[in-house]
Amino acid sequence: MEFKARTGNERKRSWAAVAAAVVVTVAAAWAIPTVTESIAAPHSTAAHDRNTTADGGHNGQDGAQGSGSAGGGAQPAGAVPEGIAHASEAGGNAVNITIDDGPDPVWTPKVLDVLKQYGVKATFCMIGPQAKAHPELVKQVVAGGHRLCDHTVDHDTTMDKKPVAYQEKEILDAKKMIEEAAGGAAQVQYYRAPGGSFTPDSRRIAAANGMRPLGWNVDSKDFTKPGTAAIVDTVKKEIGNGPTLLFHDGGGDRQQTVEALGQVLSWLKAQGRPTGFPVRTTS
C-alpha cells in the first residue's frame, strides 16, 4: 500500500508538470505574433515613407532626389519645400515652360511675343545683374503674367563645390536684384541652380526665403544652337521624361530658340497638352 500511495502521488506530480508545460507552450505561442509584429512595423513604415516622398523628374537636381526636405521631416501645408520641383500646378498632362539666363534686351521681348501668341505663361529664371541692368524687361515679364525665378548672380555651375556662405550670397543677392528690378510688383518664387548644381544647403536657403528649388525634365539643348529643327525634335523625343521644359532667352543669339519655341507650343496645343507653372508648396 505504501508503494501504491507513493506511485499515486508521483502520478499527480507528473500530471501537474505536464499541465504546467502546456500552459507555458500556449503562452509562448500567443506571444510570438506580438513580438514579430513589433519588429516588422518600423521596416514597413520606412518602406512607406520612401515610396511616398518622391517628387519625380530626372534633371536639375542633386543627390537628394525626391526629398521633400533636406531634414527629412514633414513640412506644414503651404510651406515652401526644399525638394526640387518638377510637377505642374495644373496637374494632368500639363507642361511647364521655363526660360533661363535673361533678361536680354533683344531676345526676351521676342520670347514674350511668342508666349503671348499662344496664350502661354512661363517661368523666367533670371541672372541677377541682367535683371538689374534691364528692369523694364523684368517689369514686362511680370506684366505678362509670368513668374520669376532666381538663377544666381554669376551663373556659377560649380557653386555646389563652394562654401555655403558663397552659395547663400549668390542666391540672395540675385533675389534682391530681381525683385528690385520688378519694382516690388512681384516675388521671386523659384530658385534654379546653374547647371543643376543644387546642394542641400542651397535648397534650404532658397526654401527659407520663399523660393521653391526648380529642376527640369526636358533640356531642349537650345543653348548649343543645334538648329531649330533639332531643338523641336529634342523636345518631342524627351517630353516623356516629365513636364518641365528648359529654354534660354540669354547667352547670345537666341533666334533658333524663338523659332523652336513657337513650333513646340503649336505642337503641344495640337497634342492637347496645356501649360502651367511648376508646383511651389505642399498641398
Q: Cβ(103)–Cβ(124) under 8 Å?
A: yes
- Average pLDDT of span 197-222: 98
Q: For residue 29, name the pLDDT band (cuts at 50, 70, 90).
A: very low
CA distance 120 to 144: 10
CA distance 162 to 113: 38
Which grid coordinates belong to 103? 533678361
Share of the chain above pLDDT 70, in %: 72
Q: For residue 282, name the pLDDT band (cuts at 50, 70, 90).
A: confident
CB burial of 151-187 (b: ≥16 within 10 Å; e: otherwise) equals bbbbbbeebbeeeeeebbbbbbbbbbbbbebbeeebe
CA distance 194 to 160: 9
Pure H helices in the chain:
2-52, 107-117, 128-133, 135-143, 164-181, 200-208, 228-238, 255-270
**pTM for the structure as a whole:** 0.76
Q: Cβ(161)–Cβ(184) under 8 Å?
A: no
Annotated catalytic residue, options 55, 62, 86, 100: 100
Residue predicted with more confidence, 26 or 39: 26
| 193 Cβ contact partners less than 8 Å away, ≥ 6 residues apart | 60, 62, 152, 159, 160, 199, 202, 213
Quick: pLDDT tens for 88-130.
999 999 999 999 999 999 999 999 999 999 999 999 999 999 9
**Domain assignments of the chain as residue spans, ordered by start:** 95-276
Q: Cβ(205)–Cβ(174) under 8 Å?
A: no
Nearest-5° angle of CA 204, CA 207, CA 209?
A: 110
Q: Cβ(239)–Cβ(225) under 8 Å?
A: no
CA distance 199 to 220: 24
Which grid coordinates belong to 120? 502661354
Question: Taken in order 49, 57, 141, 262, is the CA torsion positive or negative?
Answer: negative
Question: Is 100 considered catalytic here?
Answer: yes
Farthest-apart Cα atoms in the chain, separation: 121
Residue 6 pLDDT exceeds 80:
no
Class of domain 95-276: alpha beta
- Specify the range with the lowest mean pLDDT, choosing from 14-23, 39-48, 67-76: 39-48
- How confident is the model at residue 79, as a pLDDT? 86
Share of the chain above pLDDT 90, in %: 70
